[in-house]
Amino acid sequence: MMLALALGSAAITAGSLVYFDEDLAPFVLEKLPLPLEDVWMLALRVHVVAAAVCLPGCILLFSTTLVRRAPRLHRWVGRVTATLVLLALVPSGLYLSLFAKGGLPSTLGFMLSGIIAGAAMVEGVRAARARRFLEHRRWTLHVLAQLSVAVTSRAMLFAFDAAAVDEQVAYIVSLWLPVAGSFGLVELFWTRTRPSILPWRNHEALRDARHPRLRPDRPRQARGG
């Protein structure tokens, strides 16, 4: 799964290099005229660069080897990824969504995905800082799931094109289904598998998983009357 996402991310990045050429790519030409073309192009390029770093970054963060053997590197990769998601990827994506192909349904779909990714990243960072590592894992799974929409959506578009599905319908379905489906799958996965992953990966997660009465940071109740 992670390998497929990594390969999909690499393919999307390679295909997006045309947005940095002097000649406008077909995707850009079909958007013209734009009210603020320079701003839109800047947002597109920021979004492409941020996505090229954030999706592989999220994939790397779920490497058990990195967590076990290089926890400091794990933290720094997480900080860089979180910063790019919150300050570059989500803001540029929200702006670009205003001009999305497919009109209002597409705009709302892209906005929902961006809001989920941004809110989940904020909660994930808060959970990590509070050393609630299981909760941190849940929220970062949501971030990865929404970033993976770029890959799954394009795969669905290829399939719809091969099946000669109406272009407008294909575009909207291939956006909304991965966005909503990714969110639902993470929640379903977490609900069904959480008991089996309580002793997760490292001692920090084990600490977080213990019963509250066994946690050293739990306030002790006063004895006696």
Rounded to whole angstroms, the Cα distance separating 174 from 44 reads 20
Q: What is the pLDDT of residues 179-219, one digit of tens each?
A: 999 999 999 988 877 645 444 444 444 444 444 454 444 45
Residue 123 has pLDDT above 70, yes or no: yes
Residue-wise pLDDT tens digits, 29-62 = 787 888 888 899 999 999 999 999 999 999 999 8
pLDDT band for position 73 (cuts 50, 70, 90): very high
The residues near 100 (Cβ < 8 Å, ≥ 6 apart) are: 106, 107, 109, 110
Determine the pLDDT at residue 194. 62
Above 50 in pLDDT, residue 222? Answer: no
- Residues 6 or more apart whose Cβ sits within 8 Å of residue 200: 133, 134, 137, 206, 209
pTM of the model: 0.81
Where are the domains positioned within the chain? Answer: 2-211
Check residue 116 and give its pLDDT. 97
Encoded tokens for 10: 């690499």
